[in-house]
Structure 1
């Protein structure tokens, strides 16, 4: 596993319940500020294997980026169960819920 992938997985695993991070935020923390799409691929291919809290990762605008309707609504449901408000446009207030990885 390459270092970026390993770092990204560890960052994603660290996101606590009730908090979110953006794809770009994770990429920057993992050492590749322009690697948001790599984070998407990691989530898509490794979430199950590494038991990643994939639902806590959203776009920079706070949008649910998943296009598959069933998974899109599953993410909303999981976020709401953790106390995260999702508005009628399926957006989250990034400033309010963002987790700052240290």
Structure 2
């Protein structure tokens, strides 16, 4: 499968960052773009949606902590398995789906996760 050869260089870098995020932690689309020093949240989101199926995609999230529409159940399985901090959904929230607790779950690329070197 020559799939990796077809990957645009930016997408490859985005996926490398996604693979660095430790279990139980998340980075926002904007965090990933900032880490790379290139692009923005939309470019990261596009790279993840097109090429991110083979990496821990559930660890790259929206800044508001809302789960990716259409992927909530699969993401919740991963979050529960990894112990990712969640906030209970408000009763008014559609479907009562919890959100990520961004204050506790957000990873800045710093220590405690093994190799914290930037790409």
Which TM-score band (shorter chain)? Answer: 0.7 to 0.9
How many equivalent residue pairs?
A: 96
Matched, 1:58 2:61: yes
For residue 8 of structure 1, the aligned residue among 14, 31, 42 is 14
TM-score normalized by the length of structure 2 = 0.70
Instruction: State the match for 1:74 in structure 2.
Output: 74
Aligned mates of 2:78, 2:8 — CA distance in 1: 30
- CA–CA separation in structure 2 for the residues paired with 1:31 and 1:5: 13
Query: What corresponds to 1:21 in structure 2?
Result: 27
TM-score, length basis structure 1: 0.80
Higher RCO (CA-CA < 8 Å; seq separation 6+): 1
CA RMSD of aligned residues (A): 1.7
Deviations 1:23-77 (A, max 9, x none): 1100111123x611111111111123xx21001121112221x221xx2111122
Gaps of 5+ in 1: none
Larger radius of gyration: 2
